[in-house]
């Protein structure tokens, strides 16, 4: 039985197979990056994301990233797309990249090209938890808009009504204890009243330091982990 008032869930490797993220979502955004930026470069949200990317780029040029070098117009958008792909190759979790990816996925989900994949235990657990008055929240490096798409367009129907709150890297990095303190505050709860479930030990470490209860998700396709802290381990959310 879950003692905490709220359950905070990671997405990939916890509620969604990692293969869906890396074999479907990432390639989809990669293939459409330049065409999307070319078509939407004048949109305010894209312009804001590109400005943030340009700021991040200064430090990455020394690591081999393509430099903007004062480019404008289509050359600037081509640079931005190339830089986004460079970041994706390194699995960076930067907020502007995640914003752009989320917008590309939004077109795919809304247009019917994409449908999310969830582990089969997720919808039943969501229903059971809500029936038992537990609050459900999501925390992922993917943008909040992308998170909502994943839980709206599922083979089990729209699961958004079960979820009380969404958090992304705008609240802070997932391996920083302060991020989890902020999330507890946003939920108007003490950290000890939140259970965080993730497949990444460094994230569990951070949440634990913040005072949350934590559980390690071990799903098919997840990277092997050495659970040195002996966190509770589950292979299904139904085990909580």
Q: What is the mean pLDDT of each run of 10 residues along the chain (240 residues)?
A: 96 97 96 97 96 92 92 94 96 93 96 97 98 97 95 98 97 97 98 97 97 97 82 96
CB-based contacts of 108-111 (< 8 A; 24+ apart in sequence): 108/28, 109/149, 109/152, 109/153
| pLDDT computed for residue 155 by the predictor | 96
For each of the domains in the chain, give its residue range(s) and CATH number, in order of start.
6-16+116-239 (3.40.50.1000), 22-110 (1.10.720.60)
| pLDDT computed for residue 15 by the predictor | 98
What tokens were used for 172?
């802070």
174 exposed, middle or buried (CB, 10 Å; 0-12, 13-18, 19+)?
buried
β-pairing, 6-9 with 165-167? unpaired
| pLDDT computed for residue 224 by the predictor | 84
- Residues pairing with 137 in the sheet: 8, 165
| Helix axis angle, 26-40 to 73-89, nearest 10° | 160
| pLDDT computed for residue 91 by the predictor | 93
């Amino acid at each position: 039985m879950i003692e905490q008032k709220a359950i905070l869930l990671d997405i990939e490797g916890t509620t969604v197979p990692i293969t869906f993220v890396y074999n479907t979502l990432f390639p989809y955004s990669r293939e459409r990056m330049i065409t999307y930026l070319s078509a939407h470069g004048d949109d305010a949200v894209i312009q804001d994301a590109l400005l943030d990317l340009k700021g991040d780029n200064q430090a990455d040029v020394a690591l081999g990233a393509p430099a903007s070098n004062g480019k404008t117009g289509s050359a600037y958008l081509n640079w931005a797309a190339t830089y986004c792909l460079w970041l994706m190759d390194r699995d960076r979790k930067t907020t502007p990249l995640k914003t752009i990816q989320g917008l590309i996925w939004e077109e795919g989900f809304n247009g019917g090209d994409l449908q999310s994949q969830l582990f089969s235990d997720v919808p039943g657990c969501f229903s059971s938890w809500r029936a038992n008055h537990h609050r459900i929240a999501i925390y992922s490096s993917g943008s909040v808009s992308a998170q909502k798409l994943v839980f709206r367009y599922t083979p089990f129907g729209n699961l958004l009504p079960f979820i009380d709150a969404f958090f992304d890297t705008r609240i802070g990095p997932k391996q920083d204890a302060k991020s989890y303190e902020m999330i507890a505050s946003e939920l108007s709860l003490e950290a000890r009243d939140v259970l965080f479930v993730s497949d990444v030990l460094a994230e569990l470490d951070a949440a634990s330091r913040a005072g949350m209860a934590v559980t390690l998700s071990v799903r098919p396709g997840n990277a092997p982990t050495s659970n040195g802290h002996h966190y509770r381990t589950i292979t299904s959310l139904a085990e909580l």
